[in-house]
Structure 1
Amino acid sequence: MAFMAVLESDLRALSAEARRRYPAVKDGAEHGILKLRSLSSPSEIAHNEDILRIFLMACEVRNVKLSVIGLSCLQKLISHDAVAPSALKEILSTLKDVSSDCHWYEQNASCSILNGLWWIGMLLLWSHNAFFLVTLIVN
């Protein structure tokens, strides 16, 4: 399945999972589906932060399923160079918050979330964004 189709599928899953309990995430995911259809490449996603913000929001709501979807999608965006270097500081801040909130989740979910955090960190280190990551850590 192509990258854009996978992201759309993930946004649909996010919308369905958020339903009534997290209306802002649900609305954001539905808006993201419409926005994604107007974009044609990962580089266009990098220039449009709406998609990224939806996945960051999913990570921040302290819900295991939403956090796992959000982290998985962040990993996909980073691995496809669909994240602008200017967004890395916000991503790292969200990852820091998620990792410090892991005690809210049950043990198996915490392992899944920490695994996602580890992979995202590794992708950032191995990608062309390594320079920006080091800059953010030093500052």
Structure 2
Amino acid sequence: MSGTNSPEAVKKLLENMQSDLRALSLECKKKFPPVKEAAESGIIKVKTIAARNTEILAALKENSSEVVQPFLMGCGTKEPKITQLCLAAIQRLMSHEVVSETAAGNIINMLWQLMENSLEELKLLQTVLVLLTTNTVVHDESLSKV
């Protein structure tokens, strides 16, 4: 885990998150304006967290429900390209253990909806695997849903 806590790894995570949010904003520009706006708000949130905190990973985890929201909304579009982008971003956040129990619950609910709609099955399985193997935020009722 020390590799993901290094200053370089944290900087890379922040860059990737902002890049993912920019890509989401561009993809949703015309067809899904609320998702575009959420992604742009997410970029500001990530920049604010980075500027105001020395413990960036802890601050990201504290604010993970807000940070994850644009990606959950993107999955809700059911557009394959957008859904793939969002699931990849969510996987990255989970692999850095910056997802709270609340955010994990929201992610599980979204994964459940995608599964019920038979969307992105391989990516769903990969996301569930990352969620269950990289942290301990999924347990009890959330775990039973997975």
TM range (shorter): 0.7 to 0.9
| TM-score, length of structure 2 as denominator length | 0.80
Aligned partner letter, 1:98:
L
Aligned partner letter, 2:112:
K
Aligned partner letter, 1:84:
S
Whole-angstrom distance in 2 between the partners of 1:68 and 1:21: 17
Identity across matched positions, percent: 26
1:115: how far off?
Answer: 2.1
Do structure 1's residue 137 and structure 2's residue 146 form an aligned pair? no
1:114: how far off?
Answer: 1.9
Partner of 1:128: 135
For the 8 Å contact 1:75–1:116, the answer to whether it is kept is no
1:77-109 alpha-carbon deviations (Å, 9 max, x no partner): 11011100222222111001011213xxxxxxx
Structure 1 residue ranges (4+ consecutive) displaced by more than 3 angstroms after TM superposition:
none
Partner of 2:123: 116
Q: How does 1:55-70 map to 2 (within 5 A)?
A: 55-70=71-86
1:29-58 alpha-carbon deviations (Å, 9 max, x no partner): 111111111112232122112111111111
Aligned partner letter, 2:143:
I
CA RMSD of aligned residues (A): 1.8
For the 8 Å contact 1:125–1:133, the answer to whether it is kept is no
For these two proteins, the number of residue pairs brought into alignment is 129
Alpha-carbon spacing, 1:42–1:115, altered in 2? closer, same or farther (3 Å)? farther
SS at match of 2:30: coil
Task: Name structure 2 gaps, 5 residues minimum.
Answer: 1-10, 51-55
For the 8 Å contact 2:94–2:135, the answer to whether it is kept is no
1:12: how far off?
Answer: 0.6
SS at match of 1:38: helix
| TM-score, length of structure 1 as denominator length | 0.84
1:133: how far off?
Answer: 3.3
Task: Name structure 1 gaps, 5 residues minimum.
Answer: 103-109
